[in-house]
Amino acid sequence: MDKTVLSFYCDDTSPYVAGADAFRTFLDFVKSEGIAGESSVILGIGAEAHGLLSRPTTDNERAYIEQVQRAFECGVDTHMELMTHGGLYDFERDCVPQDAIHEGLWLHEPEVPVEAYESYFGHVIEEGEKIGVRFTGVTWPGCSCDACTRRYRELRDSGVTHVNPNAWQALLSLATRGKFRGRTVPCFVHPDEEHYGARLTAADGDYGVYDLIANAGDWFGIWENDAARVSADYYISADGESGRIVELVRAGAPYCIFYAHWQGLNPATGVGWEAFKQVVGRVRKLLGDQVVWMRPSEYTDQKSGQSPIFGIVNGCL
């Protein structure tokens, strides 16, 4: 393929940061521009205060779910950022226990077996099914709380620097059972501008789990909704001569995937929304037929179709 694929991940999406109308405006924009990317759905975010999105209690929650149901047809994939983007949910007791380990850290804990991950992801998928939401992939819920920071340091010191491979296996098993929307499951763990690629982490025939590494940053306000962290020029300058997207297109890179956060990106309160629209407009005008927008799962589906791999691998494609 000659064209550079463009895509994005949007983290932390929920109806509480900005209402359902904001998500509808976002989807309408994506659809009308013919662009594509991903936006996460966190069914148990703030569960203590709001309950679960699978049991909506407010008009805003119901309206938000309606929008999530149409996301895919608008060009937007749906990642789980696990269940809560916080403490591990206890599906039996239907709560987040006080002392629960945080989900992102739990993905890295080396002792967790495949079955535990598979059961947990399976529960999240079932919660989605209750409201007609199908997941396409997974985003690692990052956390810098004291407990996570301390434990991540301990793990690093003992040589554990990656997600537990059992988590990849569990995702693959669920994919082969048709629990995800597609054959492949793209995952967003860490951005890496230098060593990026669609890293196949588990595969079975043309089913595959990919660590699809973002190679462009978040200059749409990040999770702090910070105006100092907004720059359309970071992606593409007004004359189309510089910026990360331009750089990757000129280098013949297979893709440019950037990431954003709903706090900064959303059209209602996000300081990055105008910049996002500006970037999309500049790309259309200045890069035109050199790029093609794709949902992350569309990209990994295509990768997998090109070269089905049998057995488990940990390499780069």
Residues that bind Zn ion (CB under 5 A): 102, 143, 145, 148
Least separation in angstroms between residue 47's CB and Zn ion is: 15
Name which of 85, 139, 142, 92 is nearest 119 in CA terms.
92
Select 143 or 287, whichever has its Cβ closest to Zn ion: 143
Does residue 239 come out as left (phi exceeding 0), alpha (psi in the -120 to 50 range) or beta? Answer: alpha
Select 78 or 139, whichever has its Cβ closest to Zn ion: 139
Distances (CA, A) of 109 to 143, 188, 205: 14, 18, 28
Select 104 or 197, whichever has its Cβ closest to Zn ion: 104
Task: Collapse the DSSP code of 236 into the 3-class scheme (helix H, G, I; strand E, B; otherwise coil) and give the result.
Answer: coil
Select 114 or 143, whichever has its Cβ closest to Zn ion: 143
Name which of 62, 83, 55 is nearest 19 in CA terms.
62
Least separation in angstroms between residue 102's CB and Zn ion is: 3
Select 68 or 167, whichever has its Cβ closest to Zn ion: 167
CA atoms of 268 and 311, how far apart (whole Å): 46
DSSP annotation of 230 reads B
| Rounded (10°) CA dihedral 190, 194, 198, 200 | -80
- For residue 59, the surrounding DSSP H or E stretch is helix 59-74
Distances (CA, A) of 73 to 36, 37, 66, 126, 275: 10, 11, 12, 21, 24
Cβ atoms within 10 Å, residue 242: 15
Select 188 or 255, whichever has its Cβ closest to Zn ion: 188
Least separation in angstroms between residue 140's CB and Zn ion is: 12
